[in-house]
Amino acid sequence: MPVLTTACPRNCYSTCGMRVVVENGRLRALAAHPGNRATGHGLCLKGLSYIERVYDPARLLHPLIRAAGGDLRRATWDEALDLIAGRLVAARAAHGPRTVAYVTGSGTKGLLNSCGGAFWRLFGGCTTTYGDLCWPAGLEATRLTLGENAHNAPWDLVNARLIVLWGKNPAETNIHQMDFVRQAQAAGARLIVIDPRRTESAEGADLLVQLAPGTDGALALGIANVLVARGLVDREFTRDHVHGYEEFAAMLRRWPPERAAAVADVPVATIAHLAEELGGRRPATICAGFGMQRFTNSGQTMRAIIALLALTGNIGRPGAGWVYANLQTHLWSHPKDPLGFFPPATPDGVTRATLSIARLGHDLPAQRDPPVTVAWIERGNPLPQCPDAPSVRAALRALDFRVVIDQFLTDTAREADVVLPAKTMFEQTDILNAYWHPYIQLKQKVIEPPGEVKPESEVYRLLAGRLGLPPAETSLALPGPADADVEAWLARKLAPFPALTLERLREGPVLSPEFREIAFDDLRFPTPSGRIELLSAQAARRWRVAPLPDWTEPVEWSRRADRDPRFPYHLLTPNTKDRIHSQFGNLPSVRALAPAPLARLHPGDAARLGLAEGDQVRVFNDRGAIEVAVRLDGGLRPGCVCVTNGYWLAEGGAVNLLTAARETDLAHGAAFHDVAVGLERAT
């Protein structure tokens, strides 16, 4: 049986290299590829469930069209494409091409994803989104401070003598990183976890600090104060490589440990201990999670945490650094805006980027000149995943026409007028980059698409013909239908990088031409000053925040003096290891482990509410409510309720029924972890 190389394209740290066994045109087995040094230890449950995903009976294999009675019915490709083409032509004639909203998610990655943007430019333009639901505040905080998003190779973590998992739970969300954490511990490293929850990653840690949600920046500033006051700063490093140290040190007088302790609700002694650890145990690495940069104050928070590494000289050295995002493999992106977060009105002279993804339900109906009347949605499930889900649903239903491409009938697909079946990772060749490890990988086609499934690039090509788009330009922008055409298109993308060829990638993962084992090892930083910038004029000019990292109260901070007394609890909505947001949870093998959403409560909070294990609780605020079963969790910080995200509206536990459509302070992220709620027994 042939064994082929491929890679997982999901929005996940690992982007695992994989080996696939195919027999008689059917997937038979999957295993980790040992050529990827970061992920060769094994596959997660999601990876192992791919065979089930490909052959799941609920997978969409044919186009669907909404019938006159309102139900979706099976249709032929000719019916679906003719209907779409007719509605697009009519909408463009009435309002111009930007009446179409092109909304994409990060459900699957690859260079061929650019075909969608190429098609809409040929169409004459469209309206699209800016910002991101995932991690942009942290990306921009890192860029402002260090100049670019890069970190040491994942395996360098074993050289650390101190590891701080700050708001990160890699045992569930970055499982391969946890292998390196454990290796470092075995070699004598200390592990500190800072998180309101006692997570799986905290088991075996030397210290768990359970701070109040949204106060991470205050805690960091208190630690920095102690570092300066006790002479634990690497003064030679700050003198030579840090811009704004003196100004930052002066500002820290406003953040004595007593103030930081009061804000973060942790002991003063804990702050002093954290400073002693960071200042005295080197090299130190801080691995920061995405969740804590989803608050209204989170960009400044991330800048404050990075500052701790600058003060202690833990940048540019083995075993040291800031592990957040490693974009060394993002060879085909704009270096200053690698993921397209910032909203020029017409970035290419054609596309209008005026929809904040964090405010999608509000921005869609607000568009003028022209209004948005059509939505094309692919690689995402925005209805349950964007903040303020009720507004997203209302905005989608107010449109004249909706097209969704997906593998399953998701919440968003159920709102569509046309649903087109999407390929899986095994049914078209593509090239993948990553954001944790430094490998470029080939996602090879290993089986034919089942049923009538067509790759998205082929859908665009067929639609271009119906719309009468210029054949020569279409052929240049989009690959042809044959596998050889796709590979030729990909080869052109690889041409500027001689070390990357399809032949080499077929053998296994290849290190990026921009790979550096130790990020910033030359201690040169691509910032305006050429140094690590604690004082950032860019931050003030571009985002209108303080030029020095500081802490401000989150909008829905549960400890605000003027908070609404109806909503005294903070809602935590973390990821879980068995899902990637709204993906995989529909598969029987995954659903068997977590068949329904749960609300985790501290036993003391549950007792005050008269709730016991298994009782139904209503989690609510003035935006919405969900009703879920109670799970008692003595490792959860009192005053918090935890419901993992990713459940569909159809499952009754979509947490974004409760979130607000707000942006983060930097880079137009979604501040949907800034949520206060009330709790009561469900009736």
DSSP codes, 525-587: --STTSSEESS-HHHHHHH-S-SS------TT-TT-TT--TT--EEEE----TT-BTTBSTTS
List the CATH number of the domain containing 108.
3.40.50.740
In a domain, 608, yes or no: yes
> Are 617 and 628 a contacting pair, CB within 8 Å?
yes
- Both 211 and 225 in one domain: the answer is yes
- Both 289 and 248 in one domain: the answer is yes
SS3 label, residue 30? strand
DSSP secondary structure string for all residues of 65-92: EE-TTS-EEE--HHHHHHHHHHHHHHHH
> Are 275 and 308 a contacting pair, CB within 8 Å?
no
- Both 167 and 258 in one domain: the answer is yes
- Both 466 and 487 in one domain: the answer is yes
Q: Please work out, in degrees rounded to the nearest 5, the angle formed at the alpha carbon of residue 495 by the alpha carbons of 489 and 499.
A: 125
What local confidence, expressed as pLDDT, does residue 557 receive? 79
Residue 48 neighbours by CB distance under 10 Å: 14
In a domain, 426, yes or no: yes
List the CATH number of the domain containing 313.
3.40.228.10
- Both 287 and 423 in one domain: the answer is no
In a domain, 71, yes or no: yes
What local confidence, expressed as pLDDT, does residue 577 receive? 85
Which residues of the chain carry a pLDDT beneath 50? none
- Both 260 and 406 in one domain: the answer is no
- Both 211 and 281 in one domain: the answer is yes
Instruction: For residue 629, give the H/E element and its range.
Output: strand 625-632
Pairing of strands 569-572, 532-533: unpaired
- Both 365 and 350 in one domain: the answer is yes
Cα–Cα distance for residue pair 438/424, rounded to 1 Å: 24
In a domain, 59, yes or no: no
Going by C-beta distance under 8 Å and a sequence separation of 6 or more, which residues neighbour residue 252? Answer: 221, 224, 225, 228
In a domain, 73, yes or no: yes
pTM above 0.85, yes or no: yes
In a domain, 228, yes or no: yes
Cα–Cα distance for residue pair 670/106, rounded to 1 Å: 14
Instruction: For residue 129, give the H/E element and its range.
Output: strand 127-130
Strands (E), 434-477: 439-443
Give the length of the chain. Answer: 683
What local confidence, expressed as pLDDT, does residue 651 receive? 86
Of the residues 525, 543, 561, which one is the last residue of a structural domain?
Answer: 543
What local confidence, expressed as pLDDT, does residue 584 receive? 87
What local confidence, expressed as pLDDT, does residue 652 receive? 81
Cα–Cα distance for residue pair 341/337, rounded to 1 Å: 7
Matching residue, tokens 């329904």: 596
- Both 168 and 124 in one domain: the answer is no
List the CATH number of the domain containing 599.
2.40.40.20
What local confidence, expressed as pLDDT, does residue 463 receive? 97
Cα–Cα distance for residue pair 343/188, rounded to 1 Å: 46
* Residue from 669, 656, 539, 541 nearest 130 by CA: 669
Pairing of strands 418-421, 64-66: antiparallel
- Both 152 and 202 in one domain: the answer is yes
What local confidence, expressed as pLDDT, does residue 340 receive? 58
- Both 359 and 378 in one domain: the answer is yes
In a domain, 510, yes or no: no
In a domain, 627, yes or no: yes
Structural domains counted in the chain: 3
Domain that holds residue 657: 569-681
Instruction: For residue 21, give the H/E element and its range.
Output: strand 17-23
What local confidence, expressed as pLDDT, does residue 558 receive? 66
- Both 455 and 488 in one domain: the answer is yes
What local confidence, expressed as pLDDT, does residue 92 receive? 98
**Residue 243 carries which DSSP code?**
E
